Amino acid sequence: MPELPEVEVCRLGISPHIINQQVSNVIIRNHRLRWPIPDEVSSVIGLPVLNVERRAKYLLLRFSTGTVLMHLGMSGTVRVIEQDTVIAKHDHFDLVFAHGKTLRLNDPRRFGAVLWLANDEDELGLLSKLGPEPLSDEFAEGYLFEKARNRKVPIKTFLMNNHVVVGVGNIYANEALFQAGILPTSKAGDVDEKRMNSLTHIIKSVLSAAIAQGGTTLKDFTQADGRPGYFAQSLMVYGRAGQACMVCKTKLEEIRQSNRSSVFCPTCQYD
247 or 34, higher pLDDT: 247
Share of the chain above pLDDT 90, in %: 70
Cα dihedral 55, 58, 59, 65 sign: negative
Residues belonging to the binding site are 90, 109, 151
Domains annotated for the chain, with CATH where assigned, are: 4-118 (3.20.190.10), 143-264 (1.10.8.50)
CA 14 – CA 90 distance, rounded (Å):
20
Burial class (CB in 10 A: 0-12, 13-18, 19+), 129: exposed
The predicted pLDDT at position 220 comes to: 43
Q: Which of 26-30, 174-178, 213-217, 237-241 has the lowest mean pLDDT?
A: 213-217
pLDDT at residue 224, rounded to an integer: 63
- Residues involved in catalysis: 2-3, 57, 260
pLDDT at 222 over 60: no
Supply the pLDDT for residue 9: 87
Q: Distances in Å between the alpha carbon of 146 and those of 82, 193, 203? A: 49, 9, 17
b/e sequence 228-267, b meaning 16+ C-beta within 10 Å: ebebbeebbbbebeeeebeeeeeebeeeebeebebbbbee
Number of H helices, E strands in the chain: 5, 10
In whole angstroms, give the CA distance from residue 136 to residue 107.
30
Residue 233 has pLDDT above 80, yes or no: no
Residue list for the binding site for DNA: 90, 109, 151
Could you read off the pLDDT of 61-88 as tens digits, one per residue?
999 999 999 998 888 889 899 998 899 8
pLDDT digit string, tens, across residues 8-17: 988 988 999 9
Write out the H or E segment, with its range, that includes residue 58: strand 58-62
Beginning with the edge strand found earlier in the chain, give each strand of the sheet holding 101-106 in spatial order: 23-28, 91-97, 101-106, 77-82
Global pTM reads 0.88
φ, ψ of residue 101 in degrees (nearest 5): -100, 160
Find the mean pLDDT for residues 167-174.
94
* Average pLDDT rounded to a whole number, residues 95-124: 87
